[in-house]
Amino acid sequence: MSVPWLRGFFLWLLAAPHAVLALDMWWNLGLQGYEVWRNPQLYIIGTQPICTQVEGLSPAQIKICQHYQDHMPSVSRGAQMGIRECQWQFRHRRWNCSTVDDSSVFGPVLEIPSREAAFINAISAAGVVHTVARSCRDGELSTCGCSRRPRPKGLHRDWIWGGCGDNSEYGYRFAEGFIDAREREKNHPRHSNGLARTLMNVHNNEAGRRAVFMHSKVACKCHGVSGSCSLKTCWNQLPSFREVGDRLKDKYDGATEVKFNRAGTRLVQADKKYNRPTKEDLLYLSLSPDYCLANDKTGSMGTTGRFCNKTSPGMDGCTLMCCGRGYNTYRTVVQERCQCKFHWCCYVKCKTCQREVDVHTCK
Ligand SMILES: *[C@@H]1O[C@H](CO)[C@@H](O)[C@H](O)[C@H]1NC(C)=O
Ligand SMILES: *[C@@H]1O[C@H](CO)[C@@H](O)[C@H](O)[C@H]1NC(C)=O
């Protein structure tokens, strides 16, 4: 499993006393996770403190968890947000970031050090930076508050730099400490791909953090006589998580294949003719499987039964999605609002129309 700390949170959430075992309900699980961490005394099983109940945490992570228990609801929400965004970004792809009904969260498919594994590492790290930075701003954490980023150079000199901004510096540092802790641990059980996988994860975690941290913006609010906007107060603001997801999806599309150098100490590009990857780029060690057929061993779920678009030339088109196996067509009825009329004043009244549409699913 490439993101064991994530798995830990899921195991924990699933084992929580009133967890709903519906795996597509990420949002609910996130909320439950939040409750669990807010009221830890309610949920301590036996005499074990909460951080040792979260399976999958390395010894160093357990220490951080114990020390920063009030951060854990944010970590949990960050992980959920990363997964939901992954599912959105990959909804039209053969591998659609689906989760499986067991403790591995994504199934064995991410044991392969592929682009997909790179994306998952990055987006979940980004999620944690995002939620922790926001929680600092909202005063939910004891060890951080508003952002202390210095005033940006180009900011108009009449404008005030002083609103309470998202603490992306703190979010970045905390996510680095917590997520990379396990990769840096000396006697940490090695990944199946050994040191190369560790280096790959560390790099991709950093790329994910940067996708949030380096793209924070300046947001401003107007003041002044009757909204004249002669005065402005400005602060540091996180990018929306959709922007983060879009950015990392671009990085996924342009990810760089790497391998060990001769000495086996560093990762280098497999093919030197491309540009050298930066710290914001994603790295992978192995080509991805085609994800066409279900395969218990690799964990690929296959695309049988997936919806496809008959006219699209892209990945969501039936040709590519179904890997040439063909598709079945069903006629179904969809209901939609139609013949909407505006009534004075002020509401819109619509009828419900039924329309037949063809849907296609892969054989
Ligand atoms: C993702 O793919 C799996 C396996 O092919 C499928 O069961 C699931 O319904 C898909 N999820 C979405 C949201 O399309
Ligand atoms: C199918 O793909 C075509 C071309 O990309 C697009 O115009 C159309 O909206 C898609 N249909 C659906 C139902 O998504």
The residue from 302, 326, 345 where one domain ends is 302
**From ligand 2's centre to the CA of 276, what distance in Å?**
36
216 with 272, same domain?
yes
Name the pLDDT band for 18 (thresholds 50, 70, 90): very low
298 with 316, same domain?
no
334 with 298, same domain?
no
- Give the number of whichever ligand sits closest to the CA of residue 307: 1
Res 358 pLDDT > 80: yes
The residue from 302, 328, 347 where one domain ends is 302
238 with 275, same domain?
yes
Number of structural domains found in the chain? 2
212 with 360, same domain?
no
Res 44 pLDDT > 80: no
Cβ atoms < 10 Å from Cβ of 173: 16
**From ligand 2's centre to the CA of 282, what distance in Å?**
30
Which strand (E) or helix (H) includes residue 257?
strand 256-260
Ligand 1 contact via 303 beta carbon (within 6 Å): yes
* Mean model confidence pLDDT for the chain: 84
Nearest CA residue ID for atom 14, ligand 2:
309
Nearest to 152 by CA among 213, 238, 236: 236
Residue 78 near residue 132, CB atoms below 8 Å: yes
Which CATH number goes with the domain that contains 317? 3.30.2460.20
pLDDT value of residue 57: 76
Nearest CA residue ID for atom 2, ligand 2:
312
Q: What is the pLDDT of residues 320-357, one digit of tens each?
A: 999 999 999 999 999 988 889 888 888 888 999 998 99
Round to the nearest angstrom and report the end-to-end CA distance of the chain: 30
- Give the number of whichever ligand sits closest to the CA of residue 302: 1
C-alpha 325/C-alpha 127 separation (Å) is 37
* Residues ≥6 apart with Cβ < 8 Å to 65: 50, 51, 54, 57, 72, 178
Q: What distance lies between CA 3 and its chain's CA centroid?
A: 12
202 with 349, same domain?
no
**Tokens standing for residue 35:** 């409750």
pLDDT value of residue 241: 97
321 with 205, same domain?
no
- Give the number of whichever ligand sits closest to the CA of residue 303: 1
The residue segments making up the domain with residue 328 are: 309-363
pLDDT value of residue 138: 96
226 with 249, same domain?
yes
Q: What distance lies between CA 218 and its chain's CA centroid?
A: 23
Residues in contact with ligand 2 (CB, 6 Å cut-off): 309, 311-312
Ligand 1 contact via 98 beta carbon (within 6 Å): yes
Q: What is the pTM of this model?
A: 0.83
pLDDT value of residue 190: 55
